[in-house]
Amino acid sequence: MRLQQILFKLSVPVIAVALGLLVGGIIMMSSGYDAFYAYSSLFSVIFTDPYYIGETVRQMSPLIMSGLAVAFAFRTGLFNIGVEGQLLVGWLASVYMGITVEGVPAFIHVPLAILAAAAAGALWGVVPGYLKARFRVHEVITTIMMNYIALHVTNSIIRNHMLAPGERTEDIQSSASLSSLFLQEITDYSRLHYGIIVAILAAVLMWYLLWKTTTGYELRAVGFNQHASNYAGINVSKNIILSMCISGGFAGVAGAMEGLGTYQYMTINAAFSGVGFDGIAVALLGANSAIGIILAAGLFGGLKIGALNMQAMAQVPPELITIVIALIIFFVASSYLVHWLRNRINKRGKI
């Protein structure tokens, strides 16, 4: 029974991914590209070529973090669309700590910079949480607005206080860096860094918080039924704010992955990075579970990185992979339609 349930849960994302790739392939063929060659050049490198493997894993860590942020809020009944903004302030906070703190060893400096990122993201999440708890303002609206505020505030701070040549900040101190020569060497000099360990630890933390603590029990109860939670003596407002705080914290650490890992600095951004929004897709495909998010981040990370080789080998533009990802999300969303139809047919007794 239990195994059957697990297989059933897995069937939705697996079928969605297969259909997404299939329809994506049809689009490629109808545009005159060789779909088989395109896919084989995509998948062969992300499974065999050390450089592409390294890049895929590097790409995964911010995706996992932003996926966790979306999923955590969702588990408590909130739509955190503000992961992007929380990520940007987290990125800046981590880079700021990385530059200004001097003369401390890495085992203090790295956690300090990551915690600063989490704190900045949490702060950015608490604002919509408070507005929701206190004034019933819908979090979707406030988090979207907070995204724009984050984009322009971070740009302004970099421009006015931290500017280095090239529309960016200086590099962080090496003591704050997550990058590792060892990891780079074994992956043919990709930009792989230790961030993936942080991301996996964060996934474990989310699972533990939600399912193994009284805090998680309260958060889930509030997410499902605020009235019953209130009746049971759970402070609903406190839990809404707490949920947005933790979610924002995860998002902030996603920014630290970029700031301390991949780039070692922060640029002035003309537009959103997109990683925060990808988090929504990751959480959806991963069914808001810690393991699912890691797997989904692996898939999306792999597709994005593999697309580069697909372009090089089969001359297929990487935008097509964006379409494939969109299709996968579409099929995951419509799988609920499939479930619904199946239940309905079962009820009527017409199999």
Partner 1 sequence: MEYVIEMRDIRKEFPGIVANDNITLQVQKGEIHALLGENGAGKSTLMNVLFGLYQPEKGEIRVRGKKVEITDPNIANKLGIGMVHQHFMLVENFTVTENIVLGQEPRRRAQVDIKSAAKKVEEISRQYGLRVDPYARIEDISVGMQQRVEILKTLYRGADILIFDEPTAVLTPQEIKELIQIMKRLIAEGKSIILITHKLKEIMEVCHRCTVIRRGKGIGTVDVADTNREELASMMVGRDVSFTTKKEKGNPQQEVLEIKNLVVKDSRGIPAVKGLDLTVRFGEIIGIAGVDGNGQTELIEAITGLRNAESGEIHLNGKEITNLKPRKVTESGLGHIPQDRHKHGLVLDFSIGENMVLQTYYQEPYSKYKQIKAPEIFKKANQLIDQFDVRTPSVHTEARALSGGNQQKAIIAREVDRSPDLLIAAQPTRGLDVGAIEFIHSKLIEERDANKAILLLSFELDEIMNVSDRIAVIYEGKIIAIVNPKEVTEQDLGLLMAGSKRTGKEEN
Residues of this chain that interact with partner 1 (CB under 8 A) are 211-217, 220-221, 224-225, 227-235, 346-350
CB of 83 to partner 1, least distance (A): 24
Choose between 103 and 349: whose C-beta lies nearer to partner 1.
Answer: 349
Among candidate residues 63, 34, 143, the one with its CA nearest the CA of residue 305: 63
| CA 168 – CA 162 distance, rounded (Å) | 8
Contacts of 139 (CB under 8 A, 6+ apart): 73, 78, 79, 80, 81, 82, 128, 129, 131, 132, 244
Choose between 88 and 240: whose C-beta lies nearer to partner 1.
Answer: 240
Contacts of 13 (CB under 8 A, 6+ apart): 285, 286, 287, 292, 296, 332
CB of 290 to partner 1, least distance (A): 16
Residue 136's CB is within 10 A of a number of other CB atoms, namely 7
CB of 231 to partner 1, least distance (A): 4
CB of 13 to partner 1, least distance (A): 21
CB of 114 to partner 1, least distance (A): 23
Count how many Cα atoms sit within 13 Å of the Cα of residue 65 in the half-sphere of its side chain.
35
Choose between 230 and 322: whose C-beta lies nearer to partner 1.
Answer: 230
CB of 221 to partner 1, least distance (A): 5
Residue 102's CB is within 10 A of a number of other CB atoms, namely 9
Cβ–Cβ < 8 Å for 51, 185:
no
Choose between 9 and 152: whose C-beta lies nearer to partner 1.
Answer: 9
Choose between 75 and 193: whose C-beta lies nearer to partner 1.
Answer: 75
CB of 283 to partner 1, least distance (A): 18
| CA 238 – CA 294 distance, rounded (Å) | 29
Choose between 8 and 36: whose C-beta lies nearer to partner 1.
Answer: 8
| CA 181 – CA 127 distance, rounded (Å) | 39
Three-state DSSP class for residue 284 = helix
| CA 47 – CA 53 distance, rounded (Å) | 6
Choose between 54 and 216: whose C-beta lies nearer to partner 1.
Answer: 216
